[in-house]
Structure 1
């Protein structure tokens, strides 16, 4: 790639990439998913979660082919641009931005909710803003430091989830988990099948953003070898943790009181050990590491996506600046933070259909993710057909069936989400439309952008106009 003065440092090894892949997602095990219980019940949501786990497993095994073929900071933007040209790349990039820019404010609010358990006087929103300040700074300081920190907090978060399951296990009863398990409660009671479809965004939240490790590809040592290891180990880790946490949390009492809150794990543990137990305080404090791991990791993800889009002329070029000392995309980090903080204080705009602010931010983020998954799988098929001779360090197993399964399930998820979240779908569509207008008005930026060609393996130049 010829991008003089806009190169990222290659410092990440396989364990750091695994830490990023799992850390990006692991907050989804701590909160957000329990909103799915309100729609589908525990048993209905388990069916939804298993279906989504199959989708993600098929997707990751397929997505890894693209990541190793084109190890680029733009991730899905780069794959779609290669397959479908500039407009296809922009659609994938914008959808990815929606996913990665809206996920952090939801996580930051959950951090505030967890701290509120210990300090009831704290404002969750101002805690969230403080988190942005701290972790944007850490991301600016350097990718090596940021990735090492990410690995550290991810390992702590996994240990804490295992501790949670061990502590509550003696109080687990299947009868508690299965009670009213096929329907929700109050106004969320939609019936079994419709409730399961309505719960899709919250099942996706279990795994959302694992693909963000692709955006660290330019900063990885030997990405064609290390990324497959990180992705495959990461998805297996997350599936096991998601199912374990969901079952144990729902089986220690009436799960319905956990369905619409941001801290289901502390509240579930409180039933077993009481409100003053050292175990509970440990869960709150160490549980913060899981939220921090995802929050910090997704800041890394959105900043690289903004950086890649700006470097190629799809966003304002000044966002492509790399810090002269730390070699990190500092302006892209700050720009995503401004949007996230605005979302935190947008109650009147984002509280829709009476749902909590966090639930709606989660849904907007998931809309972006699902569109990106669909475009990425279509890009995989297109590149296989159009450029079959490219060297593929990792080939999607079971091609074409496994990528087709990921594409089909993603399409079903998108259709269900549009049906059950029509106003949020309209907001998401309006954001895409606004992005398209910007795209049409800024062709001169793309014409002036430096060459951005992946030279490995016989890749041909991309059309940048």
Structure 2
């Protein structure tokens, strides 16, 4: 899109179901390689397993709900467009800010993880240097095009999945049951609070699968392909999450895993030694999993920033499109520089709390959107309907509300920081953004048509009653 209102340049349609599955699994798979282990000190293995299963239920039920929404509202705005249609501009904007916060901050978290793995191999390479190289490389890939990115992502994901399967094959027979279920009986060190505080870190095993609807405008047959990509990706991640946590903790124990910046090589090294071939492979080729997620996160934040900017909620410069490649290059580049600054300033375990807080805000509004639109607009065409409605979105909604307060127990300071970000965003919206809306943006135009249709029904209802 150019900076002029009303001039819309569409994104290129190139994605198929295998591309969507690949991107969905790829953007999340780094959660298996890095991040989840920071929640172990209070939860232990059993507490983390419980937290993981609760979050798996939340994501699975949400995935079914957004499969319905994405076939009704197939726009790059994804979560923002769902909430915009169901609850109006302000809630749509806040949902979009939650998504932007989630992914812009997730990128430096993964970049720090990449640095940790590189340091395992090359201690002289600073984390910031590795992160800057990754940002530059994959911002360039995304500017070149979505199909080119999807092809690269497919290779990265299959390598990362192969390495995980290899770790399961080698590690499962060597698990020390005492690492999973300590003989002293202290199965969950922090008790109920320990499980609760582990929820944001258990989310890291699934966080970002919900970004796929933001690729709706780039999917060839969104009505059929989007539900396939979402559901198959979520089932894959559920299996991986249980196996990864069990094998890694079973090999190394809680004490090693809690402080490991490179948990999978550390787990193999604890059991077999630092020079063991699989530890070296996981530390080197294991970078592929982190890189796959890192590149996917750049894709996610760029699409949400692009959609919000195209609609006028964010400055129009962020909606600038590459005329030849049809990619939103400014929405790729500018948030990338912000992420690189965050790499320098913050620790990953703190950033995870802000990222998951932003994600949970969007989860709450997306689940509400499923419920509201079913009641508000029952006649909308739904080529996929959420199974077990309304039970499914209600379960996901309740778990998201519970999880959002888990960061209160994990780190009260960053809980307040997260609230402050949304407070500032709200002030920005009421003072500036709401006066800049581009009515020609697809999400806004579709929502406006819905409002007009609803008002028309209200106006004509008395006339129809008289005729009867």
Task: Mark yes or no: TM-score above 0.5.
Answer: yes
Shift of 1:271: 2.7
**TM-score for the superposition, normalised by structure 2:** 0.92
Task: Assess if the C-alpha contact under 8 Å between 2:81 and 2:443 holds in 1.
Answer: no
CA deviations on 1:194-230 (whole Å, 9 max, x unpaired) are 1111111100111001101111111011111101111
Query: The residue matched to 2:251 in structure 1 has which SS?
Result: coil
The corresponding residue for 2:242 is 243
Residues in 1 aligned to 2:38 and 2:390: alpha-carbon distance in whole angstroms: 34
- Of 123, 131, 134, 1:131 maps to 134
Rounded Cα–Cα distance in structure 2 between residues aligned with 1:214 and 1:305: 10
- 1:281 alignment counterpart: 280
Distance in 1, matches of 2:337 and 2:379, equals 43
Structure 1 position 332, deviation (Å) = 0.3
2:149 to 146, 149, 153: 146
> Deviations along 1:123-177, whole A, 9 cap, x unmatched?
1122112111111111111111011111221111111100111122231122222
After superposition, residues 360-371 of structure 1 pair within 5 angstroms as 360-371=350-361
The answer on whether the counterparts of 1:10 and 1:221 sit within 8 Å (CA) in structure 2 is yes
Q: Deviations over 1:334-384 (max 9, x none)?
A: 12101111111113xxxxxxxxx1101111100011111001111111111
**Superposition deviation, residue 49 in structure 1:** 0.9
Moved more, 274-283 or 129-138: 274-283
Aligned residues: 449
| 1:338 equivalent in structure 2 | 337
The CA distance in 1 between the partners of 2:177 and 2:444, in whole Å, is 53
Equivalent position of 1:117 in the other structure:
120
Distance 1:436 1:456, change over 3 A: closer
Query: What SS does the aligned partner of 1:83 have?
Result: helix
Q: Describe how 1:16-35 pairs up with structure 2 within 5 A.
A: 16-35=19-38
Task: Answer whether contact 2:200 2:406 (CA < 8 A) is retained.
Answer: no
Q: Which residue of 1 aligns with 2:370?
A: 380
Query: Hey, what does 2:251 align to over in structure 1?
Result: 252
Structure 1 pair 315/196, CA: closer, same or farther in 2 (3 Å)? same
Correspondences of 1:303-314 after superposition (within 5 Å): 303-314=302-313
Larger Rg, first or second structure (1 or 2): 2
Which has the larger displacement, 46-55 or 164-173?
164-173
Cα distance between partner residues in 2 of 1:374 and 1:181: 37
Q: 1:249–1:255: 8 Å Cα contact kept in structure 2?
A: no
Contact 1:77–1:90 under 8 Å retained in 2: yes
CA distance in 1, matches of 2:382, 2:449: 11
Unaligned ranges ≥5, structure 1: 348-356
Which whole-Å CA distance do the structure 2 matches of 1:153 and 1:206 have between them? 18
Residue 457 of structure 1: how far off its partner (Å): 13
Query: Where do residues 317-336 of structure 1 align in structure 2 (5 Å cutoff)?
Result: 317-336=316-335
